[in-house]
Each structure stands twice: as C-alpha cells, then as structure tokens.
Amino acid sequence: MVNLYVGTLGALMPSLSRGFGWSRAQLSASVLIVCAGLLLFGPAVGPLIARVGLRAVALRGAALYCIGLFAVGLTGPKIWTWYAAWTMVALANPAVNNTVWTTAVTRLYRHNRGMALSTTLSGVGVASFIAPPLALWVAGSFGWRAAYFSIAIGSLFLIVPSLWALFLPLAEPKEPSNGARRVAPSPFDHRSLSAILGSSQFWRLAAGVVIVSAGIGTLLVHFQPIMRDAGISGRLAAFASLLGPTSVVGRLGGGYILDRLPPRFVASGAFALPAFAAAVLLHYDGSTASSVIAATAIGFSLGLEGDVVAYLTAAYFGVRNYSSSYALLFGLFAIGAGAAPVLAGAIFDWTGSYVVMLKLLIAALGIASVMMASLGPPKREDA
C-alpha cells in the first residue's frame, strides 16, 4: 500500500497537465522531493527506532503518510500546493519505507535472511504493477483527486490496524529447521555508526548504490520513450507491463541466491544486469525479442537491487546500526534514481539520441560491478 503512489504519477500526469497547465517537469519534481526526503530524513529513522521502537515509528509514520497523500488530492491550482503536499509525504515516507521493514527482518532472521528480505520487499514490484491501472480506473470514474484520496484512506484503514495488531515487539531469532547458511554477527555490531562511515567498504558500496540506482531509474523512465522512438508505440503497454512481474521474480530469486552464494559476487552480477539491459537498448531494433529481453532485464534489475543493498548492509555492517546505515544508502539510492533520469533527458535533448546516455550507463555500471566484487568477504565473529 505504501508504494502504490509510485505508479500513479505517470498515469495521472496528462490529467493534471490538462487541468492545471502544469508542465511534466513541474509534476515530476514530486519524485525528487520524495527522494530528497529519504536522503535528508531517512538517517534520522535509525536513532528514532532505537529510542521509541520499530512499532511506534511505523504506526506514526503510516498515519502521517496517509495525511500527506490525502493532501496531494487537495492540491491545485497553484503549483506550490503540489510541492507542499509532496513535502508532507516526503517527511513521513522514511518512517514507512524499506528502512523500517528491512530492519525488522534483519533483526529476526540470521538464516534465510535473503529470502526473508526479498519476500518483504516484493510488495514494491506488486505495487508498480497494479498502481497505474488502478489509478486510471479510479481517475476515469471519479476524477484524479479520488485516486489519491482512495490510496490515502485505504492505506489508513488497512496499514494502521495491521501494524497495531501484527507488528509486535521483536523476539530473538529462532534456529532454522533447514540447512540454510547462517549470517554470523559482524564486528560492527560492537562499534559505532562513525566506524561504519569510516570504512572504505561502506563508501564503495555507497558509490555502487548511486551508480546502479541511476542506471535503473534512467532505464525505467526512458524505456518507453526509446521504444516509442523505434516506432512501436502500439505495444508499449504490453512490454512495460512486464516490469512488475519480472521485478517480483528477480527479487525472490535474488533472495534465494543471496542465502547460498557469496553476497559480493551476487551484488557484482546484479549491478551488471542493468548494463546488459542498456546494451540491448543501445542496439535496439524494435523487435519483439529485444523488447522482451530489455524489459525482463530491467525488471530483474529493479527487483534484485533492493535485496542486494539490504542484505549487504546487514552482512558487512551488522544489525546494531543497520537502520542508520541502510537509511543513508537507501537515501543515496533514491537520489540517484530520481536525479539520473532528468540528466539523461538533458543528454537526449543535447545530442538528439540516447546513444551517449546508454554508453555512459554501460561504462559506469561496469565500474560499479567491479567495485562490488572488490568488497571482499564480510568480516565475522565466531557465533
């Protein structure tokens, strides 16, 4: 429910542009506002969790998120009202986003942690799949404002009671009933956040996260324009609809692999996958085969990256400061995903094609893949 808003903007953008005369660039600024909120306010979630607990943070964050999203439905005709409402969403979003849910998972699971994370985060792929048609149906029947009202009210009556009833204080992790690999404690569990930030591994991971998020964000936004330029506008929806299901498959598959292979090598392969998608689009001929391959690679990439970043954060930097370190990495991920498509559009406007942008992505993602492989094995204590 929390991620349903992500897919609504593209679906509702034409209605908002016609209704208020706002440009698509002005409307798209809402994405940057939310991403900036994750970077600026996300790191504060970790200390807040330590002070009041996961359940309290999630309950208050969910209520504030619903209020902010309801406010989006009240915006117009002045553009500042749009920005103000999304700022409210941006303030609440870090308290109901991946940091909270993955913190709970990493504390509960030492065995099968990858699969647990992938199952938890698969809701993002489901939301990206159902949000656009849902938003279009509601907007077509009741107006664009009703789309945001329905998500806000639906979330309030589904999320908050569920959190109250089910998101209880965490118990100690149980021993597994199968032979899955156990994630041993990290030395960083006994050190401060400043020690993590002083680690070269953290900043290599951070640089890789920015690069891969930039790649995925760019491909997600510009995939359909690239297909349209190749003259297949009639089949855009069919190919774009592959992104949601393939992201769920990639996420679940990634979790399974992370539990069984060295995480740095899984990350290296995952960070190279968007480069493969970019290479397919660089030589894109508009054929059905190349369209399906590109869409599948982008969807798998979208699913894999969330698992990989969460798993590597816990594996390399421990559980004690997980929420703070992951929030910073997730904020960087959000900024890369939000800012890179704008830069890619500027490169297209300047050069008249996507060739330069795709070549830059392939080179940068190759570097990110090598950086992940260079992390070395996580340091461990005897468990």
* 3 state SS of 182: strand
Rounded to an integer, the average pLDDT of 305-319 is 86
At 179, the pLDDT band (50, 70, 90 cuts) reads very low
pLDDT digits (tens, 9 = 90+) for 91-115: 998 888 888 888 888 888 777 888 8
- pLDDT at residue 359, rounded to an integer: 95
**With 70 as the cut, is the pLDDT of residue 2 above it?**
no
pLDDT digits (tens, 9 = 90+) for 223-279: 877 877 777 765 655 666 677 788 888 888 888 898 888 999 999 999 999 999 999
pLDDT digits (tens, 9 = 90+) for 9-54: 766 777 888 888 888 678 877 878 888 888 888 888 878 887 888 8
More confident residue, 75 or 318: 75
Contacts 24+ apart (CB under 8 A), 47-56: 47/324, 48/95, 49/100, 49/103, 49/323, 50/323, 53/169, 54/100, 54/103, 54/104, 54/167, 54/170, 55/163, 55/167, 55/168, 55/169
Specify burial of residue 13 (Cβ count, 10 A radius: 0-12, 13-18, 19+). Answer: middle
How far is 252 from 275, CA to CA, in rounded Å?
21
- pLDDT at residue 343, rounded to an integer: 85
Rounded to an integer, the average pLDDT of 313-332 is 85
- pLDDT at residue 178, rounded to an integer: 46
At 177, the pLDDT band (50, 70, 90 cuts) reads very low
The CA angle 151-154-160, to the nearest 5 degrees, is: 120
